């Protein structure tokens, strides 16, 4: 599909037809990315989107231990630290 750039002040914009907006799942905000092929417009993502899945994939929870449980006390812990 071809479309014309529209003047918006000193900038330019494009009008995206409603069927394309719905088909692409675009909301109120979008992300713009420049590639060698041109400009990519994709749905805007929430900050930290999918971080929970990335953390789960990064480590097996069965091997997780708290550092405090496995780390020996150091000089600071023995002399200076006070509760």
C-alpha 20/C-alpha 47 separation (Å) is: 24
Q: What is the pTM of this model?
A: 0.50
pLDDT in tens, 8-58: 999 999 999 999 999 999 988 999 999 999 999 999 877 777 788 888 787
pLDDT in tens, 33-46: 999 999 999 998 77
Q: What is the DSSP code (8-state) at residue 62?
A: G
Domains in the chain and their CATH numbers?
Answer: 1-83 (2.10.260)
C-alpha 21/C-alpha 28 separation (Å) is: 10
The average confidence (pLDDT) of the chain is: 85
pLDDT tier for residue 65 given thresholds of 50, 70 and 90? low
C-alpha 3/C-alpha 59 separation (Å) is: 47
């Amino acid at each position: 599909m071809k479309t014309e750039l529209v003047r918006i002040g000193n900038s330019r914009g494009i009008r995206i037809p409603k069927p394309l907006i719905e088909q692409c799942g675009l909301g109120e905000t979008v992300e713009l990315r420049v590639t060698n092929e041109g400009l990519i417009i994709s749905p805007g993502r929430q900050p930290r989107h999918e971080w929970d899945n990335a953390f789960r994939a990064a480590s097996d929870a069965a091997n997780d231990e708290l550092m405090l449980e496995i780390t020996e006390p150091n000089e600071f812990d023995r002399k200076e630290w006070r509760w």
